Structure 1
Amino acid sequence: MSPRRPPRILGLGGSMRPDSTSQLLLRRAVAVLEGDGCRTALLDLRELDLPFCNGDKKEPWPSRPDVKLLREEVRAADGVILAGPEYHGTIGGALKNALDLLDFEHVEGKVFGAICALGGRSNSNALNHLRLVVRWYRAWMVPEQVAVPQARTALADGEPTDPELGARVDELARSVARAAALLRADRG
């Protein structure tokens, strides 16, 4: 019997703001998983040239290089950690658009986790909306989630000011990796 290979986890950062709280926490999650021996990848949507999804698959957007990259990275992952802002009570547009550019063949059966940064008080609107999208794709969302209220003051020099926040991000990342490994093993 061959040893099991560690899961491959993709971090998908959906904030357009440089050094955003959600992006920095996503980088922390990916680093924790690398330290645990997972194979990881990170896509920062600011670095991709993604068109707005119009749903018409007869148009050339599915063959654009960065759409192909996004789809290939999600398809290759056993699990995905989504991170982005909550704007006006829902998912930020860049992250939602990236999710809209995917299809069942890329997402179905994968394990997801989510981190959302909020400018104001904590709520779970964007996290709940991400859960709906993931469930619609027939994928799994781990029960852990990270909402970061007052996000602009949640970090100092890139590190959480509250140690509990760091611990929650670490646990979310490890939960995605554990679930992804179990689900992959169950599928054979």
Structure 2
Amino acid sequence: MAAAQPIKVVALCGSLRKASYNRGLIRAATEICKESIKDVQIEYVDISPLPLLNTDLEVEGTYPPVVEAFRQKILRADSVLFASPEYNYSVSAPLKNAVDWASRPPNVWADKAAAIVNAGGGGARAQYHLRQIGVFLDLHFINKPEFFLNAFQPPQKFDSDGDLIDADNRERLKQLLLSLRAFTLRLKREG
């Protein structure tokens, strides 16, 4: 019997800051999968090179090369991990821009499992707004566990490089990844 293919997860961070705590969550998720959820492979996809969505950049059904490369990574993935900071009660502009580019015809988000993490002082409104956006895109978010981390409340959860050092939150993140893994497998079986 052939070994099962690994579950491919693309991870997007809505913050462009290098030491972003949200990006730190993606690094921690990648480490957790390498250590203990070996059939899940996370690929961080940098959204900073994407131009602002402008349909004038679409020429005869094609997209700029950087946009098409991004869309192909989403298309080839089994599921998505969003690290979404909250800006003005919503998702960040860079993340919304990335979501919109990948939704252009044909929508490459459709029928993928997804999860959202957040590190900051809030995040619930951004997560729920992203879930609303996902309804139109046919993204299927896990319901539980939800992951909100107040990075600014003691004790210290991240080091000076933005890496998650808090063991309890690493375990919570692992539980979210296991839920994403199970939901992804369920969707693949049903598909």
Normalised by the shorter chain, which TM-score bucket? 0.7 to 0.9
Say if 1:135 and 1:141, in contact at 8 Å, map to a contact too. no
| Equivalent position to 1:155, from 149, 155, 158 | 158
Determine which structure has the larger strand proportion and give its number: 1
Aligned amino acid, residue 186 of structure 1: E
Specify every segment of 5 or more residues in structure 1 that has no aligned partner in the other structure, as ranges: none
| CA shift digits 1:153-176 (9 cap, x unpaired) | 541254446433222222112211
| CA shift digits 1:82-104 (9 cap, x unpaired) | 11311121101101110010125
Alignment partners' CA distance in 1, 2:124 and 2:168: 18
Shift of the alpha carbon at 1:58?
Answer: 4.2
Alignment match, 1:138: 138
Structure 1 position 73 matched with structure 2 position 73: yes
Identity value in percent: 23
TM-score, structure 2 length as denominator?
0.83
Give the match's secondary structure for 1:107.
Answer: coil
Shift of the alpha carbon at 1:25?
Answer: 0.6
1:43-122 equivalence runs, <5 A: 43-46=45-48, 49-55=49-55, 58-59=58-59, 62-103=62-103, 105-118=107-120, 120=121, 122=122
Alignment match, 1:125: 125
Alignment partners' CA distance in 2, 1:150 and 1:45: 23
Alignment partners' CA distance in 1, 2:81 and 2:45: 10
In structure 2, relative to structure 1, the CA distance for the partners of 1:73 and 1:132 (3 Å cut) is same
Report which stretch shifted further, 30-39 or 127-136.
Answer: 30-39
Report which stretch shifted further, 153-162 or 106-115.
Answer: 153-162
| Equivalent position to 2:44, from 22, 42, 45 | 42
How many residues align? The count is: 183
Alignment partners' CA distance in 1, 2:172 and 2:62: 36
In structure 2, relative to structure 1, the CA distance for the partners of 1:60 and 1:172 (3 Å cut) is farther
Give the match's secondary structure for 1:185.
Answer: helix
Alignment partners' CA distance in 2, 1:15 and 1:116: 11
Aligned amino acid, residue 132 of structure 1: Q
**CA-atom RMSD in angstroms:** 2.4
Aligned amino acid, residue 174 of structure 1: L
Aligned amino acid, residue 84 of structure 1: S
TM-score, structure 1 length as denominator?
0.85
